[in-house]
Amino acid sequence: MHPFLKWAGGKTQLLDEIRKYYPFITKNITKYAEPFIGSGAVLFDVLSHYTLKEIYISDVNRELINTYTIIRNNINELVELLTKYQKKYWGMNSSEQKEYYLKQRDRFNNLKINGNTNENIEKAALMIFLNRTCFNGLYRVNTKGLFNVPIGSYKKPLICDEENLRVISEKLQNVNIICGDYKSSADFIDQNTFVYFDPPYRPITETANFTSYTENIFGDQEQIKLAEFVKKITGKGALILISNSDPKNTNINDTFFDNLYKDYDIKRVEANRMINCNGEARGKINELLISNFKGEMGMENRDFIVWLAHFKKSIANYEYYTDFKKVYHNVNEMKVELNILNSLIGSKSIEEDFENLLSKYPDVLKCIPILLAVRSNEIDAIDEEGSFTYNFDEPNLTIEQYKKFMRKTGLFDLIQNHIINNLVDYVTGVETGLDSNGRKNRGGHLMENLVESFIKKAGFIKDQTYFKEMYISQITQKWGIDLSAISNQGKMEKRFDFVIKTDNMIYGIETNFYSSGGSKLNETARSYKTLALETDTINGFTFVWFTDGKGWKSARNNLEETFDVMKHIYNINDMENGIITEVFK
């Protein structure tokens, strides 16, 4: 589920930062309010991961609220109308599209100014249509309240995202949708509420004023009034998060928000400028996250469902798919023999020519197995005439028997009938196919390599402050720590993928990534749960587990049990958010 509108200042790119403030794991936070709903990126993220008692959204933009309401109450009619718009728009050339766009824009403005103020399905459909087809998905009105954004340059934009709209409709069924300003939320908000305010941003340049989502301007006085409202509901005990622009991007001395929210926690986070008419001005800037409580609620309070949702489908790097260096090396090792065998391609008397070739160049026999995608120098074959083991390194059978092998395996047909034109090219393809079978082995090391890269990035040095593949006995011998509490669960001596040594602690680290399910995952989760409980009794030693992969969804119950008792279990998203420097101190 994702926002159904593109929106200036949309928060999709900041979700990883905003999620750190979610307080829903605290039992008394059962309500959510978002008084400047916009495209709803945070709302939809909350709806995707939490079941709350009450949710409130509002906006002063009547057309926006009408669209949310229609999606909730009239999804079938809305989808039907959007499908009609999309089919018609896709069938037009660019000039026809522009004419149609302007006609639809005029119709939208007419409904906006003169239409029924109640729910309007056509107006909602037009708003989505214009948003998907206008320049950069910008919503802007003039002082008369008329939508005035020009057409964009999209030939076939997705106007009707039916699957997403239907999911949103279902999730909105129990949401209070209100047309009104942020002050209308006062009665809803109490000590059980998390409130997210995303007001129109204060412009950081004269050309970046995109606050005109309605005909009413949200200037500095409005920002001050909002801050007064925040102070009022803080007194109710609500937990509050506010996002806004950072004036210091362009004026280091501009302390407007620092002064306005001096009693609050202010965090600067990096974001990309998403809408700007000047392409050269696009880039990374700071934005503000302002809260009346400390963000990053603590790893011990993490929500398993949210944590699992960040698991990745794959961590394949560019070298994962095929090791072409290895492929080319293997082909070059037999290139001479393969080129000699090329002389048989198209031969009309291939058995005779093969026999003559072998007598003159016996080494060509060594490359026969690879023609069948076999790496071994020996191949077994059995039929009604008997059982034979063919050795292609040191011939052990007659030439007639090897000719029989070539004939019955189909290799003579392959070569004689011009099915292939060059055996070197053919074997390159065979080697590529065989190498792909090695992906599983390469995949097993990808997570280790990834974790090691983060360990190095955090400043640890191999064989000085971190070590690879250490057995329990080696750890005990090196640092004199008693690890006898680790039972090994009836297996061979435990070996950790990595060991990190700091001044105060020894960390034993395990890593794995599972792209597919299986019984092994349940066993892994159970064994690491036991290991975590055992190591909790050892002073000076901490067990840390880095794992990831969509395969865990098939074993989520066992993983959750381990998650509930193990403090230091992390995924790739945690590493990307700096957990290594936080944990290994």
Q: What percent of the chain has pLDDT over 70?
A: 92
Given this model, what pLDDT does residue 417 score?
A: 92
320 DSSP 8-state letter:
S
Higher pLDDT, 371 or 136: 371
Query: How remote is the C-alpha of 129 from its chain's centroid?
Result: 28
The answer on pLDDT for 397 being more than 50 is: yes
Q: What phi, psi does 470 have (nearest 5°)? A: -115, 130
Given this model, what pLDDT does residue 340 score?
A: 95
The answer on pLDDT for 276 being more than 50 is: no
236 touches 217 (CB < 8 A): no
Rg of the chain on CA atoms, in Å:
33
Length of the chain: 585
Instruction: Spell out where 292-385 has E strands.
Output: 378-383
Sheet of 239-245, strand order: 175-179, 54-59, 31-34, 193-197, 239-245, 284-291, 265-272
The answer on pLDDT for 190 being more than 50 is: yes
Task: List the one residue out of 2, 577, 4, 10 whose CA is nearest residue 287.
Answer: 10
User: Topology of domain 63-146+159-174, per CATH?
Assistant: Adenine-specific Methyltransferase; domain 2 (1.10.1020)
Q: Read off the pLDDT of each residue in 271-298 and give the average, rounded to a whole number.
A: 67
The DSSP line for 111-126 is HHHHS-SS--HHHHHH
Given this model, what pLDDT does residue 216 score?
A: 61
Helix%, strand%, coil% for the chain, nearest 5: 45, 15, 35
Domain map of the chain by residue range?
A: 1-60+180-297, 63-146+159-174, 324-436, 446-583
Show the tokens assigned to 299: 């790893």
CA distance 582 to 585: 7
Interstrand relation of 506-513 and 495-501 (parallel, antiparallel or unpaired): antiparallel
Least confident stretch, 109-123, 183-197, 414-428: 109-123
Show the tokens assigned to 109: 């403005």
pLDDT tens across 55-97, in order? 999 999 999 999 999 999 999 999 999 999 999 999 999 999 9
The answer on pLDDT for 519 being more than 90 is: no
Given this model, what pLDDT does residue 23 score?
A: 85
Least confident stretch, 180-194, 306-320, 357-371: 306-320
Given this model, what pLDDT does residue 298 score?
A: 46
Least confident stretch, 167-171, 227-231, 358-362, 486-490: 486-490
236 DSSP 8-state letter:
T
Show the tokens assigned to 103: 């006609």
Axis-axis angle for helices 94-114, 121-133 (nearest 10):
140
Given this model, what pLDDT does residue 72 score?
A: 96
pLDDT tens across 557-577, in order? 999 999 988 989 999 988 987
CA distance 42 to 10: 9
240 touches 231 (CB < 8 A): no
User: Which of the four pLDDT bands, split at 50, 70 and 90, describes residue 365?
Assistant: very high
Given this model, what pLDDT does residue 489 score?
A: 59
Level-2 CATH architecture, domain 446-583? 3-Layer(aba) Sandwich (3.40)
CA distance 165 to 409: 56
Report the first-to-last Cα separation within the chain, whole angstroms: 38
The answer on pLDDT for 481 being more than 90 is: yes
Given this model, what pLDDT does residue 274 score?
A: 47
Residue 31 corresponds to which amino acid? K
Residue 411 corresponds to which amino acid? L
CA distance 532 to 570: 13
- The residues that bridge with 177 in the sheet, in sequence order, are 57
CATH 3.40.50.150 for domain 1-60+180-297, yes or no, is yes
Given this model, what pLDDT does residue 275 score?
A: 43
Given this model, what pLDDT does residue 57 score?
A: 97
Query: Within 50-145, where are the H helices?
Result: 62-73, 75-90, 94-114, 121-133
The answer on pLDDT for 292 being more than 60 is: yes
pLDDT tens across 1-42, in order? 888 988 776 777 788 889 888 887 655 788 999 999 988 999
Mean pLDDT of the chain: 88
